């Protein structure tokens, strides 16, 4: 069989594969598209397709103190919690992968618990602990909770990057006169930096999106966007919810694009 005939023989399969990919993409994206379209609706209800175009829901969103306040709380929450989780998670991953920690697999499993344990249980546990400490309803309590939730993602991402990276580079650095801290800063960290930044961005998105722990731990005064949206949906809701959802979507999209740009920049430099 000639190569050309072979290629022709593959053609139906390639078409099928392309069709399937498009179908999946449409399936995943259509709810988002609908939400974004409704956010520009002129109708006072969630109605699709919308009868006309308007920016009234965005105007309402940005002029309602409750929404603006919750957006601010979300930022105040996601910035420290994602940074804390990234620093602690990177340090933990480094110690567990490179160091000689007794019972390292067990420690690793414990760090992964927030992913495994149902969110409701983690949330209830935090609520119980916080009651004794007076942390319920405080930003500090939310930051600690989100840091715990984000930690496993950082640990997993950075640990796998460290496992791929050649540990002999660190031995080489040591023989060349680099103390452990200099080796980490000059050799290890730069090489796993893409993974560290990636996990920072993922932690930001997760924190922005997190509902269950936030529901338990937040209060009327300290209320992140996700909780505000939840309570809005519980009551009388109008297309403002679509507007705030679009804002959240835009935020996540920007973070993802930043991550992509970061990777592209690295691979460009490596050529």
Partner 1 sequence: MEEAVLELSGVRKRYDAVLAVEDLDLRLRTGEFLTLLGPSGSGKTTTLMMVAGLQQPDTGTIALNGASVAELPPYRRDIGMVFQNYALFPHMTVRRNVAFPLEMRRLGRAEIARLVDEALQLVKLPDHGDRLPRQLSGGQQQRVALARAMVYRPALLLMDEPLGALDRKLREQLQLEIKRVHRERGISVLYVTHDQEEALTMSDRIAVFNRGRIEQIGTPEELYDTPATRFVAGFIGDTNLLSGRALAVSDGICEVETAAGRIKASVRQQFAAGGPVVVAVRPERLVLTSLQEGGTGLSGSITDVIFLGTARKYVVRLVDGTECVVLRQVSDPPFDLGASAVRLSWVAAHATAFQG
Cis peptide before 21 (omega within 30 of 0): no
Q: Which helix (H) or strand (E) holds 7?
A: helix 3-39
Radius of gyration (C-alpha) of the chain in whole angstroms: 23
Task: Give the per-residue SS3 of 212-236.
Answer: HHHHHHCCCCCCCHHHHHHHHHHCC
Per-residue tokens: 235: 């009551």
Please identify, using beta-carbon distances, which residue of 109 and 164 lies nearer to partner 1: 164
Considering the complex, what minimum distance in angstroms separates the CB of residue 266 from partner 1?
10
Q: Is 185 exposed, middle or buried (0-12, 13-18, 19+ CB in 10 A)?
A: exposed
Q: How far is the CB of 100 from partner 1 (least distance, A)?
A: 12
| Separation between Cα atoms, residue 205 and residue 202, nearest integer Å | 5
**Would you say 120 or 176 has its CB closer to partner 1?**
176
Q: Which residue from 27, 168, 235, 236 is in contact with partner 1, where contact means CB under 8 A?
A: 168
Angle at 151 between CA 248 and CA 214, to 5 degrees: 45
Contact between 268 and partner 1 by CB under 8 A: the answer reads no
Residues in the interface with partner 1 (CB under 8 A) total 18
182 binds partner 1 (CB under 8 A): yes
For partner 1, give the closer residue by CB, 171 or 254.
171
> Using the rule CB under 8 A, which residue among 68, 104, 117, 171 binds partner 1?
171
Q: Is 258 in the site for partner 1 (CB under 8 A)?
A: no
| Cβ proximity of 215 and 230 under 8 Å | yes
Q: Minimum Å distance from CB 182 to partner 1?
A: 6
Q: Which of residues 190-229 bind partner 1 (CB under 8 A)?
A: 190-191
Q: Is 172 in the site for partner 1 (CB under 8 A)?
A: yes
Tell which one of 3, 105, 132, 179 touches partner 1 (CB under 8 A): 179
Closest approach, Cβ 189 to partner 1, in A, equals 10
Measured distance CA(12)–CA(17) in Å, rounded: 9
Q: Which residues bind partner 1 (CB under 8 A)?
A: 166, 168-169, 171-179, 182, 186-187, 190-191, 270
């Amino acid at each position: 069989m000639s190569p050309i005939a072979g290629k022709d023989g593959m053609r139906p399969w390639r078409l099928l594969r392309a069709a399937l990919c498009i179908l999946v993409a449409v399936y995943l994206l259509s709810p988002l598209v609908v939400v974004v379209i409704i956010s520009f609706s002129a109708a006072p209800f969630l109605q699709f397709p919308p009868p006309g175009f308007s920016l009234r829901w965005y105007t309402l969103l940005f002029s309602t103190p409750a929404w603006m306040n919750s957006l601010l709380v979300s930022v105040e929450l996601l910035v420290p919690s994602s940074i804390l989780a990234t620093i602690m998670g990177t340090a933990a991953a480094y110690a567990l992968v490179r160091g000689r920690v007794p019972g390292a697999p067990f420690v690793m499993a414990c760090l992964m618990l927030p992913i495994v344990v149902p969110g409701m249980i983690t949330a209830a546990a935090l609520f119980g602990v916080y009651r004794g400490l007076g942390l319920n309803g405080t930003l500090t309590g939310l930051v600690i909770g989100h840091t715990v939730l984000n930690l496993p993602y950082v640990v997993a991402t950075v640990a796998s990057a460290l496992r791929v990276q050649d540990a002999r580079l660190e031995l080489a650095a040591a023989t060349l006169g680099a103390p452990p801290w200099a080796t980490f800063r000059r050799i290890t960290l730069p090489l796993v930096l893409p993974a560290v930044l990636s996990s920072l961005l993922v932690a930001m998105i997760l924190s922005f999106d997190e509902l269950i722990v936030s529901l338990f731990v937040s209060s009327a005064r300290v209320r992140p966007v996700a909780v505000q949206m939840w309570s809005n949906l519980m009551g009388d809701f109008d297309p403002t919810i679509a507007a705030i959802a679009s804002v959240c979507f835009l935020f996540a999209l920007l973070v993802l694009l930043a991550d992509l740009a970061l990777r592209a920049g690295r691979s460009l430099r490596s050529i």
